[in-house]
Amino acid sequence: MDESSHLTKICPLLHTKLQSVLDKEVQKPGESKKELLKYDTHGSIVIIPTADDNDMDYTCEANHSAIPIGMPLRETIKLSVFYPPGMPYIEGYTEGETVKRGQQLELTCRSRGGNPPAQIVWYRNNEQVSTVYRTEGSFSESVLSIIAKAQDNNARYRCEVSNIMSVEPMKVHVDLTVLFAPSGVTISGPTEAKADEQVVITCTTENSNPPADIKWTVDGHNFESNASRTEPAPQGGWITTSNVTFNINRTSRSIVVICDASNVKLTENVVRTHTITVICE
**What is the predicted pLDDT for the residue at 34?**
60
pLDDT, tens digit, 9 for 90 and up, residues 92-109 = 999 889 999 999 999 999
In a domain, 84, yes or no: no
pTM, two decimal places: 0.72
**What is the predicted pLDDT for the residue at 107?**
97
Q: In the listed set 179, 212, 237, which residue is the last one of a domain according to the structure? A: 179
The pair phi, psi for residue 88, each rounded to 5°, is -75, 160
Percent of the chain with pLDDT strictly greater than 70: 87
- If you ran DSSP here, which 8-state letter would residue 165 be given? T
* Dist CA 255 CA 251 (whole Å): 10
* Dist CA 227 CA 261 (whole Å): 15
Q: Residue 266: which domain range?
A: 185-279
Based on the fold, state whether residues 265 and 194 are members of the same structural domain.
Answer: yes
Q: How far apart are the first and last CA of the chain?
A: 97
In a domain, 199, yes or no: yes
Based on the fold, state whether residues 59 and 109 are members of the same structural domain.
Answer: no
Instruction: Kindly report the average pLDDT of the chain as a whole number.
Output: 87
> Of 236, 224, 230, 187, whose CA–CA distance to 211 is shortest?
230
In a domain, 17, yes or no: yes
Compute the CA torsion angle 86, 90, 95, 98 (nearest 10 deg). Answer: 180
Strand 98-100 and strand 177-179: the pairing is parallel
**What is the predicted pLDDT for the residue at 16?**
37
